[in-house]
Chain A
């Protein structure tokens, strides 16, 4: 790993990133930009974001701290951090290839063979190869360990049968990280699972788009019908699927593999909510003169500020004593639930206008708040529901026994 950079080196890099994002960031391409990688609905949106990621990568502001020999920048992780900060500062669009860069990439860098690193890393950084994730199944959402998609070994190949669901970018992806059952007689459900780096554009794999509650698209259901993949696609060995899947979650914290940088989900700019509240009326007076709305908004400000500061506190071990896993594990639960509550709260500011939706000229902010509220459920349900998150915090941070 590269040496820790000096303040001057960091500043120089940060200034360059700043200048680049100032110059190159497009905030309004003339159509609605997705706030998360799960919301990429149209070709226009997809092409724009793929292009954007490639540009950022080529400028050296994505994957700056990933190894040079596989397409990264080979620099210290502090450089990537200042680049990401510049991205945020100019409110730049999201990085599209979330599953590739955030999940598959770190796993391959950590445990993959030399050949796998050579094959996959660069293409995910420049967004040439889009990745998707095949964990959830129609009958097994929260109970991931019970996944039933069948992978049967046949010579040098595996034959896949079954279905995966909630596959973001599934119809556009070249690869899928896939959790499949290779052993139906294993002593427990977890041990029967294996993990694959699965090619999507092959015979026997088809996708069907799912219309979301917002009215947009973004997810697909993926069907596997006697799809044949090379046995080389197996990752981590037969029977180790569950531990591989769990590992992909660990990388989010960036402890083992340096974070790729950027963001795949745009944080709601909560100050926008304050602006909306300030510009709203209730009974002929400013909304924030209403004592109930005022108190609620204040509580939300307390919540927002706490979660923002938690991101800093998480990097300070001295302030994390007692239950060190607590803060990292609770983050998803606390953040996604807060955003759901806040966006719901914002609808109440709008009075009669709360009745409008995206597409009507009378809608407040083009329906942004309604869309954000409805989309917020993708985060409170996806990636482990809030209820599952509470079990995780309870069991892994607080030491409570498992729920059976």
Chain B
């Protein structure tokens, strides 16, 4: 089996890890996370500005397009710390839109959008539909070409941060082929976006009605690059969400440990009870495995074959360990765990949401099995 990856780091990764650790902790304390749940926008625009100023949106964009010229490997430490601090912003969707542009966009499309994204314009992807299928090519939304323009129809779901995005990249069927269309914010009519009620209250998501939206025919990615684009989106999303979930696992384990070290019952600190201690260790072990896979996936990014195996292993392990650690955190907090005030539920909900976005652990494993055994 020669498609198993290795582990290593780059200097930039380590530097970014240090900066991101401090930044996300300072800018996203829990009281702020809680306050933003009730905020319409769902994130702090000043923090978003700082993220752009730090150059984090430009990391995986080539220098020719005003980017830093690194890769998704260097995005990982940032996403990890964001997940750890439940710092919800359009960072992931914007990064993924840039990756989609790099995989499928024409030179003109890249030159048009990548510098804007690098400078702080938010962007997002519109992929999911009512069938709930994680297979990105199983879609019914469509685009009808009429001379120089393309009229779109159908509904896209779970379009995160769509109200903030200056660019939405949507998958549509054009003459039976899956294609990607660039939709600028100005093309959205009144009522095109409906805010969805989603399990992760720290994020914002919208249903996008494509009916009535018309874009120029040259807003499509070239048909020959659809496959590449889908692969790139899947892997980049797998990596970035694996990073967020790893960070989240770390946070929820620490949160649980804090309670186990302070809460007393029967005159004893409850962390001394093996019924709580041992499963916490098991959850911690699973988390460390996820983190190892994450760094391996970052290190193997872009390698043919190995890259995909490593990302899917990281996504599978991150989703299962985050889910389990957060589930047990609710349980181990007892009555308090059942309340909205307990942070364990924020993590439990986010794990469900992330799994819904990229495919849960079982889905990742089913994809992996094909790569490993067939």
Contact = CB atoms under 8 A, between A and B. Distances in A.
Contacts of A274: 1, 372-373
Interface stretch (A66-74, A207-215, A351-359, A392-400): A392-400
Interface stretch (B33-41, B96-104, B278-286): B278-286
Interface in B1-39: 1, 4, 6-9, 14, 17
B161 interface: no
Nearest to B1: A271
B347 interface: no
Contacts of B185: none
Contact of A298 (B284, B288, B368): B368
Interface in A319-359: 319, 321-322, 326-327, 330, 333-334
A288 B369 CA distance: 9
Contact of A306 (B17, B272, B289, B365): B289
Contacts, number: 125
Contacts of B260: 400
Contacts of A303: 289
Nearest to A277: B373
A307 interface: yes
B285 A318 contact: no
B313 A302 contact: yes
Interface residues of B, number: 42
B306 to A, nearest CB: 11
Contact of A400 (B7, B280, B295, B316): B280
B280 A394 contact: yes
Interface stretch (A106-114, A121-129, A257-265, A309-317): A309-317
Contacts of B372: 274, 298, 301
B226 interface: no
B288 A327 contact: yes
A318 B9 contact: yes
A394 B274 CA distance: 10
Nearest to A402: B272
Contacts of B14: 318
B121 interface: no
A347 to B, nearest CB: 19
Most buried by B among A278, A318, A333: A318
A76 interface: no
A403 B274 contact: yes
Contacts of B282: 390
Nearest to B310: A305
A390 B257 contact: no
B284 A312 contact: no
B142 interface: no
A299 interface: yes
B225 interface: no
B271 interface: yes
A66 B295 CA distance: 34
Given A312-B6, A394-B277, A404 B272 contact: yes
B316 A322 contact: no
Interface of A: 271, 274, 277-278, 288, 294-295, 297-299, 301-303, 305-307, 309-310, 312-313, 316, 318-319, 321-322, 326-327, 330, 333-334, 387, 390-391, 393-394, 397-404
19 contacts: A298-B372, A299-B365, A302-B317, A309-B292, A309-B293, A310-B289, A312-B7, A313-B292, A316-B8, A330-B284, A333-B285, A390-B277, A391-B278, A394-B280, A398-B281, A399-B261, A400-B257, A400-B271, A401-B271
